[in-house]
Amino acid sequence: MPGFELFSDLERKEVNDVLDNGVLMRYGFDGMRKGHWKAKELETELATTFKSNHVQLVSSGTAAVSVALASAGVGAGDEVIMPTFTFVASFEAIMMLGAIPVLVDIDDTLSVDPKAVEAAITPKTKAVMVVQMCGSMGHMDALKQVCDSHHLLLVEDACQAIGATYKGEPLGSIGDLGCFSFDFVKTITCGEGGAVVTNNKDYYINADHYSDHGHDHIGSDRGAETHPALGYNFRISELHAAVGLAQVRRLPEFIAIQKRNYTILRNALENISGVTFRTVPEGGVESYAFLNFFLPNYEASQKVITEFKNNGVDACWNYFDNNWHYIRKWNHLKDLKSLMPISKEVKQGLEYLQTKTFEQSDSYISRNISCLIKLSWTEDEVRERAEKMAESIRSVLNS
């Protein structure tokens, strides 16, 4: 991760097809295309990859979450339960629909705690969004059971976990709807792009219409299409889809490299006293895009990060003070710093953030170190890195 590290002639060929015919838009201009429909081809490839009946490409992972929720009828005043540890796009995508993000604690999977989800359900709850952060997953069976028993949607944000599986099923295909991102730093990149995945035909049709101004896409005359419902512009371009088409065909190659590099690093750390690893639920297989481990306390994690930097070990973070990925520094959400008026329902729905604390999440995130697994490392570079990481951790924990 990310796929841009290994761009090749495969990506160039797909892009050149688009430049050759000159049609950058995914819809229409049939006579000019010379048979090239990159977005349609990518949707077909992704449906196979995700073992799902339907895939709708959109402009980003953020758009995918909004489109997925909207396609299932989530909107004004509805509550969507989500984790404290994610990317800010999670609550942005919910709020854009006029819905209310209800943040709950994570557990040692680094995803939503099913018990916290259960406790947060109200009559307004419409969906539970499990975010498969850093290449792994939450307790999917338990989360599915909670959603089924309360008749709630289970939405998977698998934007960081393409290639991971649970009991043989791809992440993103397990819930009612799955969401993926193909931005510049994802394992598969389109530059910008995303996808909504579902086995529900109605949700798929809604997503297809909603992401393109409500167009029904019936027939071959775009000007004659009807608009069954309101929609917006979340289209992906043919150029972006072309890059993704080459990349998705290389996913097994990318996952194999990530697994090799991840395994070398994990083997170097797993016997160090004081180091524990995130829980991967039984039956789960990570995408190996990140190595996540816990240290005894926050102070140790900060000292180790400093030692990593001193020893030339990059791409490792502690998210406790990060204002992109953890609730603690999301002051723009807590204080509702918006360029436009926010509805009364959403304002009232978010009042809980003024007093709500998340001690359980704090305990995990403050002690966690997350290390990106790069595709471009040679095996020798990974082994050298592993030695430096182990040495840095031991020097802190033994001091």
Q: Which residues are catalytically annotated?
A: 186
Query: What distance in Å separates the CA atoms of residue 246 and residue 7, rounded to the nearest whole number?
Result: 9
Cis ω on the peptide bond leading into residue 2 (within 30° of 0)?
A: yes
What is the number of other CB atoms lying within 10 angstroms of the CB of residue 266? 16
1 is written with which tokens?
A: 């991760």
Distance CA 138, CA 106 (A): 9
Report in angstroms the alpha-carbon separations of 169 from 6, 283, 397: 26, 10, 39
What distance in Å separates the CA atoms of residue 197 and residue 269, rounded to the nearest whole number?
36
The gap between the terminal CA atoms of the chain, to the nearest Å, is: 34
- Size of the chain in residues: 399
**CA–CA dist 172, 287 (Å, integer):** 13
Long-range pairs of 222-231 with CB within 8 A, sequence gap ≥ 24: 222/27, 222/28
| Other C-beta atoms lying within 10 Å of the C-beta of residue 97 | 18
Q: What span, in angstroms and rounded, lies between the C-alpha atoms of 317 and 373?
A: 12
- The answer to whether 227 and 218 are in contact (CB under 8 A) is no
